[in-house]
Every structure is written in C-alpha cells, then in structure tokens.
Amino acid sequence: MFADGLFILFTVFAVVGAAGLVLFKHPMNGAMSFVVTLIALAGLYALLNAKLIFAIQLIVYAGAIMSLIIFIIMFLNIQEEDLPAEEGRFKYLIGGVIVVAPVGMLLTKAVNSLPGSEATIAGAGFGGVKEVGVKLFTEWLLPFEIVSILLLVSLVGAVVLAGKRGTNK
Amino acid sequence: MTSLDILLIIVRVAFGAFVPLCFVAVCVWMERRGAAFFQDRSGPNRANIMGFRAGGLIQNLADAVKLFFKEDIIPGHIKHKFYFVLAPMIVCVTALVSFAVVPFADTLVLGDREYVMQAIPMDIGILWFLAIAGFAVYGIILAGWSSHNKYGVLGGLRSAAQVISYEIPMGLAIISLLVVYGTVNLSEMAQFQGQLLFGFIPMWGVLLQPLGVIIFIIAAFAEANRTPFDLAEGESEIVAGYHVEYSGMKFTIFFMGEYVAMFTSSAIIVTLYFGGYQIPWFNTATLLKFAVPVALLVMAAVPVIGKFVAAWIRKNNVSHYDRENDPRVREANVYIKIVWGLVILVEAIFFLYLVFASGGAADHILVALLQVCTFLAKTTFMCFVYVWVRWTLPRFRYDQLQKLGWNILLPLSLLNIFVTSAIVVALS
C-alpha cells in the first residue's frame, strides 16, 4: 500500500535523524539531522490526517525553533578544533545501551500486549483547523489558558534578563 | 480515477511547477527593463537570434547560456561541501513548493466532480505557505555558514535575523486577516473576496484590511530579501553576502530562487488582499450566468487590443537613427504578424465555443481560463511593484531595519488584530 510505504519511509527517516543527532560530532550536522526527524514526524501526523498538527509541527518546530538553533550555531561559528575530544564515546554508548535495554524490552512487551482495539476511520473533518479549535476552546480552555500564561511568563522573563545585562554595562 | 481526473492532476501540478519557473524569465526581464526605464536608459536591447530580440527577452537566454557554461567552483577551503551544495537547492525548492497551495481559478465543476484549482488541493492554505517560507531561512543560513568566509557569514547572519524578525509581523497580519475571512483555506479566501461590500464595492482584503496589507507587503519584501531590505547582499559593505562564494549553476539556482520567491509572494499577496483570481464585480456565478455575453465581449475586445499592441510595436521597434533597410522594421513586421495570428487564434477558439460548446462544461472551462488570466495579470503587476520599489527606494541601514520591524510593524500589527476583532465581533 502507498500509505504503508510512506509510513515506513517517515519512520526510518525519523529514527535515522534522531540517531544522527546523537552520533554526529559537529553541532550543525546534529541540528540538521534533527530537522530531518521533525519533518518526518510532521509527515507521520499528516498520515494520521491531523492536518493542523502537521502544519504547526512544520511552522513551530521544523521552521521556527530549529532555525533559531541553527542561527545560534552559525553565530558561535564552531570549528572542528573548538569541539572537545570525545574519547571512548563508543564505550559510553555500549554502556548506555546495556543500561537502557531492560527499559526497551519492557516497552516492547507493553506494546505487544496492548489489547487489540478496533480501528475506526475518523470522520471527514477530523484533525482540521475548525475541529481542533472547537475542541481546544470548549473542552480544554483552562489548560490552554494556563499554558499561554506560562509562555507569557517565560517571554517577560527573557525580556527582563536581557534588559538587566544592558543596564549593567 | 477516470482519465479526466488524471488529466486535471497533471494540468494543476504542471501549472504549479512551471508557471513560477516561466515567471523567472519574465521577472528578470521586467527587472532589467524596469531598471532601465527608471534610470532613463534603454536596457538590454542587443542580444538577438537572427535579428529577433523579443524586446530584450533574448538577453535572458544569453545570460542562462553564460551561467551554464561557467566553471562550477567549490572553493578548496570549504569543509562542509554537502551543505554548500544543498543551500541553493533549499532556497529554490522552498520558494517553488510554497506556490503549490495558491488557487489560480475557482473550483472547477465538470459534470458531478469538483476540482480545486491548486497544485496541491490542501485546505491548510496559508499555514502551508508560512511553514515552507520558514524553511527558506535554512538555505540562507547554510549558505552563509558553509561558505566559511566573513562576508558570507555576515550576510547570512543579517539575512537570517531579518527573515526571522519579519516573520512575526507577517504572521500577525495574517491573523487579523483570518479573523475577517474566518478560514485558513486560500480557495475559500478568494471566494470570499468575490462578494460585494454594500452591494457595489468588491470585498477585497485590501479594503477590509488597509493596515494589514501595508504590514504584510513590507514584511513580504523583507522576507524576499529585496530592496529596501537587501542588506544581506549590500555590495558596498559585504560584497554579495551569503552567495559571495557561489558561481556557475549554484549561483544561478540562488538567483532563480530569488525570483521564484518574488513571484510566489506576489501570488500570495494577490490571493490574500487583491481578490486572487476574482475579476472585480464578476464572480464565478455571474460569469457562468453570462458566459455567452462575456465571450462576445472578449471577442470584441481582442482585436482592439491587438490593434493597439501592433501600433505600439510599430512605433517603438525602429532604429533611432537613419539606416538603410532598417532590420528593426523587418523585425517589427514579424511581431505584428504574430500578434494578429494570436488574435485570429483567440477569435477562432471563441467562435468554435459559441457555435458548438456554449452551455455545459465548456462554460466552466472558459470561466476558469479567464480567471487564470486575471490571476496571472494581477501577479505580474505585483511583481512589477517589486521592481518599482527596488529601483525607487534606497537601502535601509541595518538598525533602522530592525527598528522598523520590532518598534513599528509589531505594535501596529497587534493593534490591527485588536481593532479588527472588535469590529468583527461588533458586526456579527
């Protein structure tokens, strides 16, 4: 099936990108491979017919946040010789795998033993802007407002911190 | 899927892919001739094929050949060759793909099937444009950074900072527009603009959002890195900015990307604020109702336009000094024959339509074609506005540019949202 092929493609890209983020030495390579992961995740959302989440994933994460991070990497202009020598990283990697392995096995077991629920096809408007908006502003209004206040607080905090440094000079 | 479905998919995708690329040639030509016009000179008028200069369009061909045959150099000091090659592709492809959601005609109804006239019939519309436009920054950042050159890095930094900061007023201007239209779907926005305000004014975004359109156009100019916001390639300070190390085909792709971005943002401005494909006072229903009179009107108008164009070519396409057997007059004769040939072709098509096909599906196709022409005409004019501004206004200083973005446009767009929402709530 076409959708199955796309699903496999996106999952492979998501996992490979995430692995690249951890394994690449240069921060620019790591950031760019993380962009691949984020775009692949957006593709998975689109396969689930979550159109709004797909667009927001692309605008906010793949577009805005990652371009700021890459902007900062460019600003710092890190060269190969500025990076710390990572000796024995594969030793740590293997150790990490051994530590994480039981958790992974547990998760696989949990996923395999999930009760098989009937898959139903979602309605025509599922995941559209209007449907998500209506749900968000009727059932989830309070959490939504709390999150916006949290964002506002961090925004004001950033401005205050930036302003302080300016007056000291 | 019937063969008609497949044909329409091919037509729509081909329109979305090839029209922006064709408009690269048109925009470059318009830029050159426009610059020449503003500076009171002739512009490119020498390059020719067998004496045919096509008003300067052949110069584009000469430039393309020159760029194709230049050596494509990757300087030896560049460590990240992959990003160096990837950057121009990102710039060009993102500009091209963001055009995919722009509707170029009203939903085409053939039989009992409806076809949304966008390259990708997606209903998240403007969100797709914002998402893809955000990716263009990667191209600029990667180009500046991987060039490993102080001019490149400075240009990339300037450009990225500018694009990121102007995305905010642009997004806020779009929000107040969404409040008015009540949808993010660009097709529905264009249909909304086919209505009439008080029964006689076309309900275009520019009338409903006079402040929003100014903010959006300024932000779009900054996003496209065009003068007065082309600090990123300020020749007098940083040579050519982020594409200082690029040559040959890779520079060509950057160059094409710039013009595709200009075309795409013109198309978005037209769709959001200038009625998209709508012909003022003639929305799709009216056009369908009066398809035969409209066809007759077009049949009457085309020869008149043809006559004026022919007279204009005759007057202007001559040598400005005495020449025996003026080759430019010979050239003009051929052009005038082509113009009349086109007039006859259009007349023949409309005649066949009136005799054999009027009523039914042909009406819908006729209306769609008229709307495509309207859309392209509006977009061409908007591209001309880009050229107009570029050769009229001087460049900003960098601090003035950031001040304009953050201190003027951002508060204005916030104010615009509050005023718009208040009016919309009061009226509903």
- Residue bearing the bigger pLDDT, A149 or B143: A149
Q: Is the dihedral of CA B175, B180, B182, B187 positive or negative?
A: negative
| Residue that terminates a domain, selected from A38, A63, A80 | A80
- Let me know if residue B388 belongs to a domain: no
Asked if the interface predicted TM-score (ipTM) of this complex is over 0.95, the answer is: no
- Residue bearing the bigger pLDDT, B138 or B291: B138
Residue B122 φ/ψ, nearest 5 degrees: -115, 145
Looking at residue B341, its pLDDT comes to 92
Residue B279 φ/ψ, nearest 5 degrees: -85, 130
Q: How far apart are CA A95 and CA A103, in angstroms?
A: 14
The distance of A81 to chain B (nearest Cα, Å) reads: 13
Residues 6+ apart with CB under 8 A from B276: B103, B186, B189, B190, B193, B270, B375, B378
- pLDDT of A166 strictly over 60: no
Number of domains in chain B: 1
**Which uninterrupted H or E stretch holds B181?**
helix B150-181
Residue in A54, A59, A74 closest to B141 by CB:
A74
Same domain, A73 and A135: no
Average pLDDT, stretch B397-405? 83
Looking at residue A14, its pLDDT comes to 92
Report residue A55 CA to chain centroid gap. Answer: 14
What is the band of A167 on the pLDDT scale with cuts at 50, 70, 90? low
> Is B80 in contact with B144 (CB distance < 8 Å)?
no
Q: How far apart are CA B218 and CA B273, in angstroms?
A: 13
Looking at residue A168, its pLDDT comes to 52
CB contact under 8 A, A74 and B153: yes
Looking at residue B295, its pLDDT comes to 82
- pLDDT of B333 strictly over 90: no
Q: What percent of chain A has a predicted confidence (pLDDT) above 70?
A: 94
Looking at residue A165, its pLDDT comes to 63
What is the band of B12 on the pLDDT scale with cuts at 50, 70, 90? confident
Tokens 């929000």, located at residue: B175
Residue of A nearest to B126 (CA): A55
* Mutate: best of B85, B98, B126, B137, partner A, most A CBs <10 A: B137
In this structure, the strands spanning B201-202 and B196-197 are antiparallel
- pLDDT of A140 strictly over 80: yes
On chain A, the residues whose CB falls within 8 A of the CB of B138 are: 35, 67, 70
Which one, of B74, B271, B64, B248, lies nearest residue B184 by Cα? Answer: B271
Tokens 């959601």, located at residue: B101
Looking at residue A142, its pLDDT comes to 92
Q: Does B84 lie at the interface with A, CB-CB under 8 angstroms?
A: no
Mean pLDDT of chain B: 84
Q: Count of CB atoms within 10 A of residue B83's CB?
A: 21
CB contact under 8 A, B137 and A52: no
Q: Which residues of B7-30 are buried (b: 16+ CB within 10 A; e: fewer)?
A: ebeeebeebbeebbeebbbbbbbb
- Let me know if residue B190 belongs to a domain: yes
- Residue A61 sits in a domain whose CATH number is 1.20.120.1200
pLDDT tens sequence across B242-285: 787 888 788 888 888 889 988 999 999 999 888 888 888 777 77
Q: Does B80 lie at the interface with A, CB-CB under 8 angstroms?
A: yes
> Is B88 in contact with B253 (CB distance < 8 Å)?
yes
On chain B, the residues whose CB falls within 8 A of the CB of A28 are: 80, 83, 145
Choice among B46-55, B246-255, B267-276, B292-301 with the minimum mean pLDDT: B46-55
Residues 6+ apart with CB under 8 A from B21: B96, B256, B260
- pLDDT of B201 strictly over 60: yes
Instruction: Please report how the helices B150-181 and B210-223 are oriented relative to each other, as an axis angle in degrees rounded to 10.
Output: 160
- Let me know if residue B361 belongs to a domain: no
Q: How far apart are CA B213 and CA B424, in angstroms?
A: 17
Q: Is B35 exposed, middle or buried (0-12, 13-18, 19+ CB in 10 A)?
A: middle
Average pLDDT, stretch A62-76? 84
Number of domains in chain A: 2
- Let me know if residue B252 belongs to a domain: yes
* Domain containing residue B153: 3-19+66-278+395-427
Which one, of B257, B374, B246, B228, lies nearest residue B23 by Cα? Answer: B257
Residue in B79, B135, B145 closest to A63 by CB:
B135
pLDDT tens sequence across A74-126: 878 777 777 777 777 778 888 888 888 899 899 988 888 877 666 777 777 77
CB contact under 8 A, B184 and A129: yes
Choice among A39-43, B308-312, B317-321 with the minimum mean pLDDT: B317-321
- Let me know if residue B316 belongs to a domain: no
- Let me know if residue B360 belongs to a domain: no
CB contact under 8 A, B79 and A54: no
- pLDDT of B306 strictly over 60: yes
Terminal Cα-to-Cα distance of chain B (whole angstroms):
42
Q: How far apart are CA B305 and CA B79, in angstroms?
A: 57
Q: Is A29 exposed, middle or buried (0-12, 13-18, 19+ CB in 10 A)?
A: middle
Q: Does B232 lie at the interface with A, CB-CB under 8 angstroms?
A: no
pLDDT tens sequence across A83-97: 777 777 778 888 888
| Three-state SS at A73 | helix
CB contact under 8 A, A55 and B124: yes
- pLDDT of A150 strictly over 90: yes
Q: In degrees, to the nearest 5, what angle opens at C-alpha B77 toward C-alphas B76 and B79?
A: 100
* Domain containing residue A27: 1-80
Looking at residue B225, its pLDDT comes to 77
Instruction: Please report how the helices B126-146 and A66-76 are oriented relative to each other, as an axis angle in degrees rounded to 10.
Output: 10
What is the band of B380 on the pLDDT scale with cuts at 50, 70, 90? very high
* DSSP class of B196: E
Residue in B127, B138, B153 closest to A55 by CB:
B127
The distance of B378 to chain A (nearest Cα, Å) reads: 28
On chain B, the residues whose CB falls within 8 A of the CB of A43 are: none
Report residue A72 CA to chain centroid gap. Answer: 18
Q: Which residues of B364-400 are buried (b: 16+ CB within 10 A; e: fewer)?
A: bebbbebbbebbbebbbebbeebbebbeeeebbeeee
Q: How far apart are CA A10 and CA B214, in angstroms?
A: 40
Q: Does B13 lie at the interface with A, CB-CB under 8 angstroms?
A: no
- pLDDT of A149 strictly over 90: yes
Average pLDDT, stretch A143-152? 93
- Let me know if residue A123 belongs to a domain: no
Looking at residue A13, its pLDDT comes to 92
Looking at residue B99, its pLDDT comes to 87
Residue A124 CA: distances (Å) to CA of A50, A121, A127, A131, B184 = 11, 9, 9, 10, 17
- Residue bearing the bigger pLDDT, B52 or A169: B52
The distance of A77 to chain B (nearest Cα, Å) reads: 8
- Let me know if residue A119 belongs to a domain: no
| Residue that terminates a domain, selected from A80, A98, A113 | A80
Q: Does B148 lie at the interface with A, CB-CB under 8 angstroms?
A: no
CB contact under 8 A, B124 and A70: no
Looking at residue A37, its pLDDT comes to 92
Looking at residue B82, its pLDDT comes to 87
On chain B, the residues whose CB falls within 8 A of the CB of A49 are: none
Cis peptide before B88 (omega within 30 of 0): no
Choice among A54-58, B176-180, B293-297, B374-378 with the minimum mean pLDDT: B293-297
- Let me know if residue A93 belongs to a domain: no
Looking at residue A11, its pLDDT comes to 92
The tally of CA atoms less than 13 A away on the side-chain side of residue A132 is: 13
Looking at residue B190, its pLDDT comes to 83
Average pLDDT, stretch A41-54? 87
Mean pLDDT of chain A: 84
Average pLDDT, stretch B112-116? 78
Residue in A55, A70, A75 closest to B138 by CB:
A70
Amino acid at B190: A
